[in-house]
Amino acid sequence: MGTSLNKLKEELRYECLSGKEWLGTTADGAYVSDLLSDVMGKAQPGMLWITSQVHRNIVAVASLKELSAIIVINERKVDQEVLEQADSEGVVILASGKPAFETAGELYRYLIR
């Protein structure tokens, strides 16, 4: 049983950059990595993906792995072209604005409660 992305976004004060229509999706865990090959091999469907990567390949990986959302960290800016691609592929991109360690820790506490 997962947690609604909309509820998670509101309670953790994340900004939704793309995929607002899919905020009803649930998250069943999280994976932290900046290596696309690592995410491809280890992340499971329904997980959140915490990354500092902001190029368009993150959308393809998230879509292929059926991840619930990408969470961009460290106040990284995502280009409009990437956000449009995410919207067209049904990928939610959230921004935490915090470092990976802090984002992962708060998500861990949030998801295990």
Among candidate residues 110, 19, 61, 4, the one with its CA nearest the CA of residue 49: 61
Average pLDDT over every residue of 82-105: 97
CATH, domain 3-112, list 3.40.1390.20, 3.40.50.980, 1.20.1280.260, 3.40.50.720 = 3.40.1390.20
Give the pLDDT score at 1. Answer: 57
Average pLDDT over every residue of 85-112: 96
pLDDT digits (tens, 9 = 90+) for 28-51: 999 999 999 999 999 999 999 999
pLDDT digits (tens, 9 = 90+) for 46-85: 999 999 999 999 999 999 999 999 999 999 999 999 999 9
Whole-model pTM?
Answer: 0.95
Give the pLDDT score at 113. Answer: 77
